Amino acid sequence: MWQEVKVHRDQHVVLKGSYYSVPTPYIGQTLWLRTTQRMVEIYEDTQKIKSHIRATNRGQWITDPQDYPMHKQDFLTKDKDYCVQQAQQIGPFTTQLLEKVLKAPTMIGQRKAQAILRLALKYGNNRLESACQRLYHWTCLRPTR
């Protein structure tokens, strides 16, 4: 089966709810995707640029770190466990927030968690923990309407 797909800013194309990476230069382009029962192949015109083993479940991210430039590959190693471990060093409210953000195993959640952790580099651990505590009290203790 063939279909046209667009490469999103996160360097992935979508097929039946799962995500497949392509190299950086193809961001924003429309490519062709060919599927078999076991494989996903991505083409620019008639030139195959990428192949992946097909996802078995909807929502899976099939990502080849080699698709990313070296300076962005670090992002992929900072997974859920890494982010939660870093949050635990900041405090319990930061940990609770990151666990909530990372509940669904997606790249978007991972990106959000890393962005929250970067706030500690800019503002310090105490300010981040205090902000997470305020957020917790605002969302959990707010009267319902």
- Across the beta sheet with 30-35, what order do the strands follow? 2-6, 30-35, 39-44, 47-53
At 74, the pLDDT band (50, 70, 90 cuts) reads low
The answer to whether residue 38 scores a pLDDT higher than 90 is yes
- 44: tokens are 């620019």
Name residues whose C-beta falls within 8 Å of residue 33's C-beta, 6 or more positions apart in sequence.
2, 3, 4, 5, 13, 15, 20, 40, 41, 42, 43
Which secondary-structure segment (H or E) carries 132?
Answer: helix 125-140
Q: Which residues are bridge partners to 76 per DSSP?
A: none
User: Mean of the pLDDT values across residues 60-64?
Assistant: 86
pLDDT (0 to 100) of residue 103: 85
Give the tens place of pLDDT for each residue, 46-61: 999 999 999 998 888 8
pLDDT (0 to 100) of residue 25: 94
| Burial environment of residue 50 by CB neighbours within 10 A (0 to 12, 13 to 18, 19 or more) | buried
pLDDT (0 to 100) of residue 127: 96
pLDDT (0 to 100) of residue 44: 96
The larger pLDDT score, comparing residue 77 to residue 4, is at: 4
The larger pLDDT score, comparing residue 144 to residue 93, is at: 93
Sign of the CA dihedral running 77, 78, 81, 82:
positive
pLDDT (0 to 100) of residue 9: 85
